[in-house]
Chain A
Amino acid sequence: MDYVVSFLSIEFGLCFALFFLLYWSLCWSLRLQNALLLAASYGLVASFSLQSLYILLGYSVLVYALGLLAARYPGRWFISGLLLTLVLGCFYLFKYQEFFVSGAQNALAALGLDVSLPIVELLVPIGLSFYAFHSVSYLVSINRRELSTAAPLDLALYLAFFPSLVAGPVNRALHMLPQIRPEAMRQVLEPQRALGLIAMAVVKLFFLSAWLGSEWVDPVFDTPGSASPEQVLLSVYGYSLLIYFNFSGYTNLVTGIALLLGFRLPDNFAAPYAAHNLKEFWGRWHISLSRFIRDYVYIPLGGNRQGAWRGNLNMLLAMLVSGLWHGASANFLIWGALHGIGLAIYKLFAQSAPGFARVPGAGLLARLLTFHYVAFAWIFFRSPTLDGALEMLADIAHVSLAGLNSPSGVLILACVLYLAIYPQLLKLLERSLAASQRLPWQLYPVPLALFVSLIIFASQSGVPGFIYASF
């Protein structure tokens, strides 16, 4: 009963093969290729719900009109005002209404006022979180005179481009619009790497994240308190790895699909758990989103130009916005706040102990510390309720040496070891990937298909979900 289109389904694979044939047989006409892409994108949205399609169409028209206005009066305050109204209005209407209304109701009830505030029953349209950000990048660029307005259909495709519509990455107008209207004929980009990326997505989604979810993570997070402290701790390690595999696997998948269609999507992950501090982590995790938040929230708030305290406050606000974007709940706000506070602490530490990096073993220590702080924050991110998260933390406090002498304890140790040698593993992986790219093109698909089959064979049945499709 899952209506969300899955890019890893059999149906999508078959449709994509046909689409690919048609798309490249039209390579002599950019206009037709773009029209086909737009039609496919709209078809995909419509397969989710017609309502989502109408909202996307309406949104695109508004953005186009606002773009014309911004080009006419660039840099004027009311342009930013209108943009903010549009984006925040949509987000409120579709994503946050319930959260704020029930929050307000509870607050009023606490004051003794029993009020039933109106809620317009609306479904969250698919991709809204992402195309709203695409539109911000477009309109801000016009407002800054970096860009002239795009043709209506180009803009529509920029907003709706199906590989990045459902769960990102977040595109920038300056990067994406030139690819929609390229100077030369479009061509398939790095086909072997593209297929390799898709195979990697299968490994990460079907195998790793699905297995971690059902074996380590879901049973504990769904019913916290029923597991031993060591199992709870293991589930936190498990979830930290799971969300990375799930989301970076999804990014691999859509990046591969986009390459096959002649588009380059922005980088989104660069081995985030190899980061030595939180700042570096955010430069490696969901890169397209964190850069977006930096450029369109943190810097407009004033960045770090008004002193250290104001800078930290801005950072905290930016992380809170990021948390709220992920979902309307106290847990996501706490998650954002933890990262904002963590970043401030890191900055203080880096200023007060600049020589730390030269201490022997500091690199490993920094990596493990960063990972564990991030994992700590993930507890709030994943828990369905605040109580659940607190209960899990209380459980973890009971982890004992005796308890670690158990199967879960061994697995926890294996996780820590895995993190410790992670950079070396990465190098190994990169080398073997590069070697596989050197296979002749006639031969390449055979080992690739056998490898994927083996992965599917070892995996559980069922199509995995994408965590980020629901944000």
Chain B
Amino acid sequence: MLRVQLDAAKALYAIVVVMGILFWLNQDSIKLYCQQKYHQSCELPLVGQAPAWRFGASLTAALGAARDSFIASLERDKQVVAAPATTVLAPSMPVVTVDLEQPLPAARPEPVHRVAEPGASAPLPVIQQAPVPLAQTGSSVVLAAGDQVFLVGDSLMQGVAPHLANSLRKRYQINTVNLSRQSTGLAYPGFFNWPQTVADTLAREPNIRLMVVFLGPNDPWDMPQGKGKPFLRFKSAEWELAYRARIDAILEQARARNVQVIWVGPPNMNQPRLSAAMAYLSGLYQQQTALFGQHFVSANPFLGYPDEQFSFTVQTPEGKRVKVRYDDGVHFTITGQKMIAAQVLSLISFTGLTVTGH
């Protein structure tokens, strides 16, 4: 028995040493991961700020900086080589912009249907055959040949994005820039900074004329406000202020670059708490987009959800029942993804573009 325990102790030693070194070197990314997942500051007690412990983080940071400057230096060389080619393309630019100087009509987003009728027996959701109200308001989102669409969001968008991109390309020959990434949102800019990413992308891709934003489920938590400060409580006045500011930062970028925005509000979720939080966030998205004269649309009517009801399946106008939500009660099935993509697409009108196939 002693031998068995000695062997186990040796193995435990190896496990502890390996984990110790891994934590020492990767402490900063682990801290971010912890903040993003558990919504606390995740400071290690006692050793957290000890110089010997912090040295591990410095090592990794230095290594990262070395890698970045190495890549940047390589890219610079590449750009020097490619430079003449890009100047040739410049004359075609004005042609594109003329087409896009369409004034953005002051959109009047319809109020979201959030007035639940308590006690009303909820029938199985039926998808409305008519498009969602916003689509009828004179098709305020316009795209023309050569335009690009920018897709922003989390795993919800990751599911919808391929279908949107496919239809845009096949039907209208419009390309998309899809940067949607799982676990992202607006609450943890230390983990992933959407306002920054949007600014960079819009600066880099001048042909982007429409940005579709679809996120939310990663955000309804307390969020950090800076090093050493306490977390902001979800739904507190300060939280809301900070969150609205980040929505504004994205919308501001779009306005500065004359990019139209369709902000899709996250639909109801299986878990009541999360679902209520989505309704709250949707309210913020809707108010801020309205202030900027952009378009907000909730995903609920896309899936045929009336009010605050959630359902895994919905009934199509033909009376067939289809599953639209994935088992986790958050994500969409392929059918659900396609439905949302089709509805978003129906909000866009295409000028001077011939529809091909499909």
Contacts and interface: CB of A to CB of B under 8 A. Distances in A.
Contacts of B20: 449
A28 B183 contact: no
B306 interface: no
Nearest to B311: A121
A450 B7 contact: no
Contact of A462 (B165, B182, B319): B182
A24 B5 contact: yes
B111 interface: no
B12 A21 contact: yes
B169 A226 contact: yes
A385 B12 CA distance: 47
A453 interface: yes
15 contacts: A1-B328, A116-B319, A116-B321, A124-B327, A187-B4, A187-B7, A188-B7, A223-B165, A225-B169, A445-B13, A445-B17, A445-B21, A446-B17, A453-B21, A456-B22
A310 B67 CA distance: 60
A25 B318 CA distance: 63
A456 B25 CA distance: 10
Given A123-B327, A462-B183, A452 B170 contact: no
A370 B169 CA distance: 35
Interface stretch (B26-34, B140-148, B225-233): B26-34
Interface in B5-25: 5, 7-22, 25
B21 A3 contact: no
B17 A185 contact: no
Contacts of A351: none
Contacts of A17: 12, 15-16, 19
A114 interface: yes
Contact of B313 (A121, A123, A260): A121
Contacts of A441: 10, 13-14
Interface string A183-216: 0011110011011000000000000000000000
A75 interface: no
Given A10-B33, A27-B1, A457-B60, A119 B321 contact: yes
Interface string A123-166: 11000000000000000000000000000000000000000000
Interface of A: 1-3, 10, 13-14, 16-17, 20-21, 24-25, 27-28, 98, 102, 105, 109, 114, 116, 119, 121, 123-124, 185-188, 191-192, 194-195, 222-226, 260, 384-385, 441-442, 444-446, 448-450, 452-453, 456-457, 461-462
Contact of A1 (B18, B19, B60, B331): B331
Contacts of B322: 102
A13 B318 CA distance: 50
Given A195-B11, A446-B21, A449-B19, 7 more contacts: A1-B218, A185-B4, A195-B18, A222-B162, A260-B15, A385-B334, A453-B60
Contacts of A20: 8, 11-12, 15
Contacts of B5: 24-25, 27
B156 to A, nearest CB: 9
B35 to A, nearest CB: 13
B21 A450 contact: yes
A211 to B, nearest CB: 15
- Most chain B Cβ neighbours within 10 Å, of A25, A448, A453, A457: A453
Nearest to B170: A225
B26 A453 contact: yes
A233 B10 CA distance: 48
A102 B319 CA distance: 12
B272 interface: no
B18 A452 contact: yes
Interface string B160-185: 01100110011000010000001100
A188 B63 contact: no
B1 A260 contact: no
Nearest to A94: B327
Contacts of A13: 19
B297 interface: no
B39 interface: no
B21 A195 contact: no
B1 A10 contact: no
A375 to B, nearest CB: 22
B331 A453 contact: no
A225 B1 CA distance: 63
A384 to B, nearest CB: 6
A24 B8 CA distance: 6
Interface string B316-349: 0011111100011011001000000000000000
A35 to B, nearest CB: 18
A6 to B, nearest CB: 12
A452 B22 contact: yes
Contacts of A123: 327
Given A17-B19, A123-B327, A223-B162, A1 B14 contact: no
B11 A453 contact: no
Contacts of A444: 14
Nearest to B338: A385
A223 B22 contact: no
Nearest to A51: B327
Contact of A225 (B15, B166, B331): B166
A314 to B, nearest CB: 33
Contacts of B318: 114
B282 interface: no
Nearest to A117: B321
B294 interface: no
- Most chain A Cβ neighbours within 10 Å, of B1, B10, B15, B218: B15
B312 interface: yes
- Nearest 4 pairs between A and B by C-beta? A24-B8, A449-B21, A445-B17, A222-B162
